[in-house]
């Protein structure tokens, strides 16, 4: 393995330390990413836009900044990929939609401003499904290109999994961070609703849309997410709050061994038998640290209610695309818009009420555990590229706004990864990441 390629095997925390010390340069790391992309992009197809010259120019400026002895940002020199629904000034942001081909924003999104302030290299824009919904894009699963990478943050998950970039950003309205992370074998972190401002990001469903991050471990996810958390007056979902110490807290040992509640959510019976076996083995290995908690029967309609909220708000937010005619959108997006346009106001408002009811019911479970454990997806990534997979195990947590993190804990017989998901109380993001870090170390002891 060459020196450049070996850099990409380092986790983002180690890269950050070496960049800060001057042991490696931002240009070296960026060149390693560009070489890997050149080698693999024809197969994986994770990128919607990338300009090697632009990436190198950022890296050189950051290296000059460090050599001048100036203070370094929290992500100094680290390349980061952005899902192509996140506005970048003077850089195409086409939302995976032919109606937006050639669209170039004039301003950066809130999170892009934050990344630049932190010294990150904006490496490029990653493929999203059409308008961040379910019409698949060209990206393939890097573990096996005959299988889907998931959606809608397909390019971000695949790029991190294939060692093309150490960190990436996506979004989730149903399961679009957690599911592709599970399918591709990386860590995906969807924070509490409202934790990361969405100004400058394509809005599909204001009640559900949540920005999230991709990395290889919970600690790396904590490092990236910490930079993005904040308050923005233009995003009413955000609130003024102290700067979160996600990474410092996630690194610490829990005061006592965490207790996990195993939940088999609606859809469990239809999941892959391999997943059932994996969770049975996990429960046996964890012993008294895990207990099974059953959700009340009213949770059986959660997927339908979340979809109702999603489609109703989608019909409103995407009306401008709908007006452009039948040929503008793919059939899956068109079908969702048609359904959304037919939803009655009373049914939409009722679904919104249920989100609060579900949240209150989950509080009782959280009172007895440190985190919930459940599957991240019904099994390994499905074969074929015409279906991005089911979000049946993700939508509930998006609907109630709780933070969730997926860990690539299992491997299917065909070699594809299967993730499990840890879920924490809303607003307890740092604690959830600490439990996720503990869990990854515990998994390592099993394999030792």
Using CA atoms, how far apart are residues 363 and 33, in angstroms rounded to an integer? 43
Helix (H) or strand (E) holding 67: helix 52-67
Q: 2: which 2 tokens?
A: 């060459």
What residues are paired with 121 via a beta bridge? Answer: 79
Using CA atoms, how far apart are residues 256 and 250, in angstroms rounded to an integer? 14
Helix (H) or strand (E) holding 79: strand 79-83
Cβ pair 157, 150 in contact under 8 A: yes
* Residue whose C-alpha is closest to residue 407's, from 448, 441, 362: 441
* Residue 264 annotated to the active site: no
Give the list of residues 6+ apart from residue 210 with CB closer than 8 angstroms, or none.
171, 172, 173, 177, 190, 191, 193, 195, 196, 398, 401
25, 83, 182, 390: the active-site residue: 83
* Residue 176 annotated to the active site: yes
* Residue 152 annotated to the active site: yes
156, 176, 192, 390: the active-site residue: 176
Using CA atoms, how far apart are residues 154 and 177, in angstroms rounded to an integer? 9
> Collapsing DSSP states into helix, strand and coil, what is residue 408?
strand
Using CA atoms, how far apart are residues 161 and 418, in angstroms rounded to an integer? 13
25, 152, 156, 192: the active-site residue: 152
> Collapsing DSSP states into helix, strand and coil, what is residue 261?
strand
Q: How many other C-beta atoms lie within 10 A of the C-beta of residue 292?
A: 11
Burial of 242 (0-12, 13-18, 19+ CB in 10 A): exposed
User: HEC string of 279-297?
Assistant: HHHHHHHHHHHEEECCCCH
Cβ pair 394, 188 in contact under 8 A: no
- Residues forming the active site: 83, 152, 176
């Amino acid at each position: 393995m060459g020196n450049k390629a070996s850099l990409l095997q380092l986790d983002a925390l180690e890269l950050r330390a070496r960049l800060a010390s001057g042991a490696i340069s931002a240009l070296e790391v960026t060149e390693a990413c560009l070489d890997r992309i050149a080698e693999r992009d024809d197969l994986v197809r994770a990128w919607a836009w990338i300009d090697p010259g632009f990436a190198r120019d950022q890296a050189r400026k950051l290296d000059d900044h460090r050599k001048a002895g100036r203070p370094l940002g929290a992500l100094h020199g680290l390349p980061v990929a952005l899902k192509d629904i996140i506005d970048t000034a003077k850089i195409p942001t086409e939302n995976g939609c032919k109606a937006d081909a050639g669209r170039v924003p004039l301003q950066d999104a809130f999170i892009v401003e934050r990344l630049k302030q932190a010294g990150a290299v904006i490496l490029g824009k990653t493929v999203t499904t059409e308008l961040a919904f379910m019409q698949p894009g060209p990206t393939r699963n890097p573990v096996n290109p005959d299988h889907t990478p998931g959606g809608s943050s397909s390019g971000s998950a695949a790029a991190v999994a294939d060692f093309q970039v150490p960190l990436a950003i996506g979004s989730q309205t149903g399961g679009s961070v957690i599911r592709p992370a599970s399918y591709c074998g990386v860590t995906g972190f969807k924070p509490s609703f409202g934790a990361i401002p969405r100004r400058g990001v394509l809005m599909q469903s204001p009640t559900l849309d949540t920005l999230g991050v991709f990395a290889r471990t919970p600690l790396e996810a904590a490092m990236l997410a910490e930079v993005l958390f904040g308050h923005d007056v233009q995003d009413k979902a955000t609130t003024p709050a102290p700067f979160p110490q996600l990474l410092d807290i996630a690194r610490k040992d829990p005061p006592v061994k965490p207790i996990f509640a195993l939940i088999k959510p609606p859809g469990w019976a239809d999941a892959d038998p391999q997943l059932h076996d994996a969770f049975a083995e996990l429960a046996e290995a964890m012993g008294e640290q895990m207990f099974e908690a059953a959700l009340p029967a009213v949770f059986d309609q959660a997927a339908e209610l979340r979809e109702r909220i999603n489609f109703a708000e989608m019909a409103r937010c995407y009306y401008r695309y709908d007006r452009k005619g039948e040929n503008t959108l793919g059939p899956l997006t068109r079908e969702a818009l048609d359904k959304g346009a037919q939803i009655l106001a009373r049914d939409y408002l009722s679904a919104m009420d249920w989100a609060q009811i579900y949240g209150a019911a989950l509080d009782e479970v959280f009172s007895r555990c440190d985190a919930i454990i459940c599957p991240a997806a019904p099994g390994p990534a499905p074969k074929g590229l015409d279906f991005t997979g089911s979000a049946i195990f993700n939508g509930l947590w998006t609907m109630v706004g709780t933070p969730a993190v997926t860990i690539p804990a299992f491997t299917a017989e065909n070699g594809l990864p299967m993730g499990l998901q840890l879920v924490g109380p809303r607003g307890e993001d740092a604690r959830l990441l600490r439990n996720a870090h503990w869990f990854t170390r515990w998994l390592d002891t099993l394999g030792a």
